[in-house]
Every structure is written in C-alpha cells, then in structure tokens.
Homo-oligomer: A and B are copies of this chain.
Amino acid sequence: MSQQELQKYPAASLRQFTERIFLLCGLPDDDAVRAADVLITADLWGIDTHGVARLKNYYEMLAGNFINPRPEIRIVRELPGTATVDGDNGLGLVVGPKAFELALEKAQAVGVGWVGVCNSSHFGIAGYYPHMALAHDIIGIAMTNTTPQVAPLWGAERMLGTNPIAIAFPGLEEPPVLIDMATSAAAYGKIENAIRKNETVPRGWLIDGEGRETTRPQDLGDGGAILPLGGDREHGGHKGYCLAAMIDLLCGVLPGANWGPFVPPFPYYLKSPGRSVGKGIGHFFGALRIDGFSDPVEFKQAVDAWRRVMRATKPAPGTQGPLVPGDPERLAHAVNLREGIPLLPSVVADLSELAARTGLAFTS
C-alpha cells in the first residue's frame, strides 16, 4: 500500500492523544509532553516505525508496571565533562531527553559533555537528540543499544542490536546536516514489510538459524539474524560489526546497562534474555560546543558550503545526485505537517483499541 492511499491524521490530534495517554499512565505533565514530542517528531519526519505505531507498546509497558512512570533519574558518577545517569527504569522517551540535557549543560560549562545512561528503555529516534542541540550551536551525538537482532560477522546468532548513531551539524542559511542511522545492513522494519508482502529480501541482509545467507525474511523469526552493515566479509561486514560493538560498549558496558545478547526486548513483556548483566538498556550522549573549536558563524557557513558542494556532485545514472543526510526527514516533515501523518491500517487499529480502552479520541 503506498503512502498516498493511507488515511492521514493531523499531527496536532495525534500529539494531543499521545500526551493524554502518557498522562493517564501517570507521567508528570512535562514528561508526557516530551515523550509525545519524541514520537510525533518521528512520524513527522516519516520514520513511521518509531512514532505512534509504538504507542500501544509503551502503554502496555506502563500499564503492566514494566516501566516506571515517575522515575527518579539520578547521576551516579560525574566529572565536569562526564556523567553516568541511572534512569530508574523510566521511559526512554523521558530519560533520554533529560540525560541529553545534562550533556548540554556540561558542554555549556566546559565545552563538551558526555553522558552514559543505564536503566533506561527505548528512547525513540536517535536523531531527536542532536536535533535538540542545534539551536544551542552544539553538535549533539546520540547512540543506544537495542534488542539483539544482529549477528557479528562469522557468527550464526543474534548478539548485538541494530545500534543506531545520530549526529547533527547546524547550517547558517541552509538546513542542518542530520545523520541518523542503524549500524545493521537493513532496518528491522524493512524485513517486517517483506514478510507482510510475502516478498524476498536482498542477499546481504539476513542469515538463517544456521548462519547461512538467506533471502527469506521469515528466517529472521526462525532463529536467523540481520547482518551487520556491509553484509559479508568481502563487503565490509566486519566494519558494521565494529560499529555495533563500539555502540554496545559505550552504551551498555560503560554505564552499566545490559549489553550484547542480554539487552532486554522492546516491548518488555516479550521474551526476555536469560541473563542480566546490567540495568535496562543503555544510551550514550555527546555534546560538543561549536565555539570550543571554531567561530560558530564561520562553521555554519562552511557547513552550508559543504552541503552545496555535495549536492552539486555529478549524479550517478538514473539518480538526481546525492542527497544530504537529513533531507528526506526534512522534506517529510513539511509534507506531513501540512497534509497529516499517514498511518498504516494496523496502526489505526492499535490506536482505536487504545482509544476504546481509555475513553480518549485520536481523531479530534
């Protein structure tokens, strides 16, 4: 089904519904607003897997007491430029922004701030965080570890998450450069879509439960795994594995969260790993004050120039030439804000069920 055929819903209605759901779950006002903003931003940017499509899961985790709606987030260790934060088993959509704000504060104080987080849960789209930093003339960086779905190169089982990294650079006259990418060969959502459509997936995305290359997306559910970015050894799969490892060590091992195959699933009421090696899932945030390195205006002018040079690259055949990272999200944002957010029927069904259970409406 193409985006055009989908029913569209005003972002403001979905935002209000999401805020009210979170309030009903016991979140404080500010936290409900923030958590809803993370989800609606994903939908506005066209990252529909990470928006209100997940609201029912968050609701179930809160309603089932798997997640603490009023966490006491505390700093367990810090230096002027660093901290580790314990998220008190709160919603990642709340813990993440608070921890990132701490990184911003530290950057204001000493030029740079890095904050590790344990005892958190899924924090939404990674790109939300560096986007928060742009207005402060700060380069923000966000990483998180996630439920194991990816095999290390030469492994035949899931040991690492799709572990995304995001970073953003402000422009002066031009839009920012915003990078937000998983470190696996393919996003889980793409594999889900292939299963729904009964299609095969490209070689280099998946292995089956025996570690053999497969194009059957169903094999992922039968003990298979997603390959790291690069795919096989010949195409740099060891590099994707290295990136996922780096993010797991920074987000999981360093702040004392679970890591590798022990990262709990999203949502929590699903099958859990047999062993716990830390608290919840982990994030790692960085904030670099631009004026700690360069004149901010000159830097932003240079980012503008960088964008124009990349956009002017000779196009490959059959393409319009390279995009600049963040442009697809920015274009989707403009369309979705104007026309409404297109929702898949299964998401509409989930939201309708939530509406029926709570007495709230998402189509105000």
Q: Does A116 contact B (CB under 8 A)?
A: yes
Among B211, B231, B309, the residue within 8 A (CB) of A316 is B211
Do the beta carbons of A159 and B310 come within 8 Å of each other? yes
Do the beta carbons of A77 and B277 come within 8 Å of each other? no
Closest to A107 in B: B81
Do the beta carbons of A82 and B245 come within 8 Å of each other? no
CA distance A83 to B153 in the complex (A): 37
Do the beta carbons of A306 and B249 come within 8 Å of each other? yes
Q: Does A210 contact B (CB under 8 A)?
A: yes
CA distance A14 to B114 in the complex (A): 41
Which of A154, A159, A321 is the most central at the interface, judged by chain B CB atoms within 10 Å of its CB? A154
Q: Does A17 contact B (CB under 8 A)?
A: no
Do the beta carbons of A155 and B322 come within 8 Å of each other? yes
Which residues of chain A (148-193) have a CB below 8 Å from chain B? 151-157, 159, 167, 169, 177, 179, 181-186
Given contacts A153-B322, A253-B303, A288-B82, contact A293 B116 (CB under 8 A): yes
Rounded to whole Å, the gap between the CB of A38 and the closest CB of chain B is 21
CA distance A250 to B306 in the complex (A): 12
Among B79, B151, B239, B319, the residue within 8 A (CB) of A181 is B239
Rounded to whole Å, the gap between the CB of A109 and the closest CB of chain B is 8
**B-side contacts of A280, CB under 8 Å:** none
Do the beta carbons of B239 and A183 come within 8 Å of each other? yes
**B-side contacts of A264, CB under 8 Å:** none
Closest to A210 in B: B317
Given contacts A236-B185, A294-B255, contact A82 B112 (CB under 8 A): yes
Given contacts A183-B239, A230-B229, A294-B256, contact A314 B110 (CB under 8 A): no
CA distance A210 to B317 in the complex (A): 7
Residues of A within 8 A of B (CB): 77-84, 107, 110-114, 116, 139, 151-157, 159, 167, 169, 177, 179, 181-186, 202, 204-205, 207, 210-212, 229-231, 234-236, 238-243, 245-246, 248-250, 253-256, 259-261, 277-278, 288-294, 298-299, 302-303, 305-306, 309-310, 313-317, 319-323, 325
Known: A159-B309, A179-B242. 15 other contacts (CB 8 A): A81-B107, A112-B114, A114-B288, A154-B319, A155-B315, A155-B322, A157-B314, A167-B246, A212-B316, A230-B235, A238-B323, A248-B306, A249-B306, A254-B290, A259-B306
The 8 A-B residue pairs with the shortest CB-CB distance, nearest first, are A79-B111, A82-B292, A211-B316, A82-B111, A155-B313, A152-B322, A81-B112, A154-B319
